[in-house]
Structure 1
Amino acid sequence: MDFLQLSGKSILIFGVANRKSVAFQIGKILTEAGADVLYSVRSAARRDSVRKLVGDAPIYICDVEHQDQIDALQADIARDRPQLHGIVHSIAFADYSGGWRPFHETPRAAFLQAVDISCFSLVAVSNAFRDLLDPNHGSVVTISISTTRMAAENYGYMAPVKAALDSSVCFLAKSFSEFSKVRFNAVCPGLLKTSASAGIPGYVDSYLFAEQATLRKAAVQTEEVANAAVFLLSPRSSGINTQGLVIDAGMEVNYFDKRLVSQSLQRTE
């Protein structure tokens, strides 16, 4: 039974890096649901590594920092497919090569590049593919974070960038509503075990704390995030638009859990 009604639907995924990527898990679940999954990666080297993960699925190359490459990608996919039914935007980048700094010392160039790649790319890609997306049932899903109001020092300036991404979801949905019924939503996970997160100083401690702060005392799994994204891509979520679907296992309501409070007080005594 095709409950999600995704069999045969063409979905383009941006952002697969490796097996731990949210984008890879989304592609895996979509393939299991019978969808026609296409991938876009930023370089030939990444294409070669992703090929080992996705088999014969089409893989295109597009560095979203360059509009000409986005336009070329659109032309290539329009040649290969008559229509897209969904797009997954799972792209984020921040240049911390200069070391970690307090937020007020954020380098202008690094911040603007992060906005360009992590946020504006959603706008650019959506605009480029507007005529190829199914106007009645198209769905665009991006990957954000569970909260942009939690000022974690080690997350640097990416939370403000993700806040811009969240806002862009709403404005894109409004813009597209003038000529289509394409929906825009975000999946907003809590802390995950991904290769990208592994490079954040202190992330392991934050991850372990987040795990204890969930109501179930078990961390959010990448597959759980991917399941939510696939649902938002499907016609079964047709009434959901401009939303950020938080996947944090209840953590946002549990920061004052008595055990966490007790442990914190014991450490400070």
Structure 2
Amino acid sequence: MTAALTLSGKRGVILGVANSHSIAFGCAKALADLGAELCITYVNEKSKPFVEPLLPELNAPLCLPCDVSVPGAIEALFAQLEAEWGSLDFVIHSIAWSPLAELQGRLVDTSAEGFSQAIDISCHSFIRVASAAEKLMEANGGTLITMSYYGSEKVVDHYAMMGPIKAALESSVRYLAAELGEKNIRVHTVSPGPMPTRAASGISHFDELMDDAVRRSPLHRLGTPDDVGKLVAFLVSDWATGHTGSQMFVDAGHHIMA
């Protein structure tokens, strides 16, 4: 008989929890419900009051600051995790950002400064997280997961420069999976479809994008943060030890439709 899926005894950090409607919260809730012990991060003191009230239901004894745009912040976070726990089993990276004006404009009009900031926070921060986590996963392996979107593969109206940036993130996942596999560190991209989160609210005409997803997806609904959390929990678990370098969609099948 196959053992039940459990994450009891596993410890990990979730970057990107903004509120109870965020994709990162859906991941944290699913992981906690299966027994994982979590560290939740917040960006700064302004965001902390929105994150701390969520901790009691997340089995999260640690709530630590980490603004990935600040030099040394990622390294400081993982140094504290090493001091507290000694090792780490998983990292969930659910962070993306771009200047709002450039997100809502054309790619061809993107400034070098805006593009550099966006790719640093949305893509290179995951590479830095992988580098910092590697040391804490050397003994027993682990899992690194980041979030992408179908606009990396096809042109999605009003997604502009985030499309190329998410494409770079997905390619980075494949290279990290190849480089870290010998240490039994597995790396994945999860690609949620349109969801009514605060992060998505900056995309122009986002309601139209969600309506189209419901109309054309085979399941005729949106994916949810809870759906994402269940997939992430599987990928982190010992049921998924044969998987790495994958990209998995949580969009009710919208990505397969022309």
Q: Secondary structure at the match of 2:47?
A: helix
Q: Which residue of 2 aligns with 1:46?
A: 47
User: Quick one: distance in 1 between partners of 2:103 and 2:145?
Assistant: 31
CA separation of 1:140 and 1:99: change in aligned 2, threshold 3 A: closer
Q: Which residue of 2 aligns with 1:198?
A: 201
Where does the alignment leave 5 or more consecutive residues of structure 2 unmatched? none
1:235 aligns with 2:238: yes
Q: Select the structure of larger CA radius of gyration.
A: 1
CA separation of 1:151 and 1:254: change in aligned 2, threshold 3 A: closer
Moved more, 143-152 or 100-109: 143-152
CA contact (8 A) 2:41 2:64 kept: yes
CA separation of 1:232 and 1:147: change in aligned 2, threshold 3 A: farther
CA contact (8 A) 1:5 1:236 kept: no
Deviation at 1:182, TM superposition (A): 0.4
RMSD: 1.7
1:254 aligns with 2:257: yes
Q: Which residue of 1 aligns with 2:224?
A: 221
Q: Which residue of 2 aligns with 1:36?
A: 37
User: Quick one: distance in 1 between partners of 2:255 and 2:77?
Assistant: 39
CA separation of 1:136 and 1:146: change in aligned 2, threshold 3 A: farther
Where does the alignment leave 5 or more consecutive residues of structure 1 unmatched? 256-269
Out of 54, 57, 64, the residue aligned to residue 61 of structure 2 is: 57
Q: Secondary structure at the match of 1:80?
A: helix
Q: Which residue of 1 aligns with 2:71?
A: 67
User: Quick one: distance in 2 between partners of 1:217 and 1:2?
Assistant: 33
User: Quick one: distance in 1 between partners of 2:257 and 2:213?
Assistant: 10
User: Quick one: distance in 2 between partners of 1:235 and 1:134?
Assistant: 17
CA contact (8 A) 1:192 1:207 kept: yes
Q: Secondary structure at the match of 1:131?
A: helix
Offset from partner CA, 1:188-214 (integer Å, 9 cap, x none): 111111111122110101110111111
Q: Secondary structure at the match of 1:125?
A: helix
**Aligned-partner residue type, residue 140 of structure 1:** L
TM-score (norm 2): 0.93
Q: Which residue of 2 aligns with 1:265?
A: none
Counterparts of 1:13-32 in structure 2, within 5 Å, are 13-32=14-33
User: Quick one: distance in 2 between partners of 1:235 and 1:65?
Assistant: 33
Q: How many residues align?
A: 254
**Aligned-partner residue type, residue 218 of structure 2:** L
**Aligned-partner residue type, residue 172 of structure 2:** S
Counterparts of 1:45-194 in structure 2, within 5 Å, are 45-55=46-56, 57-97=61-101, 100-133=104-137, 135-178=139-182, 180-194=183-197
TM-score (norm 1): 0.89
User: Quick one: distance in 2 between partners of 1:85 and 1:145?
Assistant: 25
User: Quick one: distance in 2 between partners of 1:153 and 1:109?
Assistant: 22
1:211 aligns with 2:214: yes
Offset from partner CA, 1:75-127 (integer Å, 9 cap, x none): 11111102110000101001124673221111111111111000000110110
User: Quick one: distance in 1 between partners of 2:63 and 2:69?
Assistant: 18
**Aligned-partner residue type, residue 17 of structure 1:** A
